[in-house]
Amino acid sequence: MPTYRSDLESIPRYVPGRPVEDVVRELGIDSIDKLASNECPEEPFPEVIDTIAAAAVDINRYPDNGGYELCKAIAIHQGLEPEEVWIGSGSSEVLRCAALAVGGPGTSAVYADPSFVMYRIATMVAGAEPIAVPLAANLDHDLDAMLSAIRDDTTIVYVCNPNNPTGGHLPSSDVAGFLDAVPERVLVIVDEAYAEYVTADDYQTFINEAPNRPNVLVGRTFSKIYGLAGLRVGYGVASSDLIGQLRATQPPFAVTSVAQAAALEAIKHQEAVAARRQRNAIGRDVLFTGLKRLGFKPAESQANFVYFEPDTPAGELGDALLHRGEIVRVLGPAIRVSVGTPAENERFLEALASVTRS
């Protein structure tokens, strides 16, 4: 038997949303709405699908390890230099590589709780100590408490904006003040995986500021609004010096040629992205209003999901919804439901109403 790390069993395993096929096999339900994984409910843009098909003929060759063309396209879109862009197999890989680069035994990482579960996982994979700071009463990041939690051995801090799973966002002035206050020896990752969904006036991306701050990395993904979750491609933005160091932990050819081609095409269609943002905002409001109408207290959201804590056990409610064909995410005492198509949103609310009555 192999000799495993002594702390291996303590590392949390990422638990994905249940696949539709799994629920069909278990429950024999034909109609399933998967609203657990914050996926885009719409297919990739038609031009992207064509690009994927065309790119498939070259998969006998390794991809461009640095993703030159994609980095260049992202840089043009965001007003950056190509060397300030780093692509990865989803933004999760960028986070994990950063944790490996600055972490290790005898170090610690600070993040909000609840927030994206990969912060804790990446921290423990790196052999560092996780420091979870509870959200404030309004479910926003408690930035003052996070600053106080930074220790001499802290090497990385995560800020998820908008926050997953609660959906709340931090105003740009609050984030800027926090970045100013964090010691430069500590890497700050501002995770903006859901930034393209934001409609709030006081939100600001820190993509253009990150390269000017030696200890800041901003994470983005093509998995959400672009609809490329199955291809796994995301990116980080930082100074070229910082990227040069963090990339040392990334395996070669991390982003496939098909994924690079798809993302390169997807980023060209910003009018379609804006239309998706508007449709998501409408669907988000439908869920928020519907939950309130049923007596729940959903959290304000700027993402593509809505979070609420039912008075009854969330696990029981989630299971009851599952038996009605609605896959949602149960997170301790809360439930997170992704914005789906208009029909999916209505079916979810109808199922929730039925469960609540019964």
Across the chain, which has 358 residues, the per-10-residue mean pLDDT values are 88 80 73 92 97 96 97 98 97 96 97 97 97 96 98 98 98 96 98 98 96 98 98 98 97 97 98 98 98 97 98 96 95 97 98 91
Q: Where are the domains of the chain?
A: 8-43+271-357, 46-266
The answer regarding whether domain 46-266 maps to CATH 1.10.150.20 reads: no
Largest Cα span, the chain: 59
Q: If we measure between CA atoms, which residue out of 164, 162, 135, 138 comes closest to residue 149?
A: 135
At the fourth CATH level, the homologous superfamily of domain 8-43+271-357 is: Aspartate Aminotransferase, domain 1 (3.90.1150.10)
Per-residue pLDDT at 19: 77
Per-residue pLDDT at 14: 83
DSSP 12: P
Same CATH topology for 8-43+271-357 and 46-266: the answer is no
Q: What is this structure's pTM?
A: 0.95
The number of CA neighbours under 13 Å toward the Cβ of 307 is 23
Q: How far is the first Cα of the chain from the last one, in angstroms, to the nearest whole number?
A: 51
CA dist 55 and 282 (Å) reads 34
The number of CA neighbours under 13 Å toward the Cβ of 200 is 19
Per-residue pLDDT at 352: 98
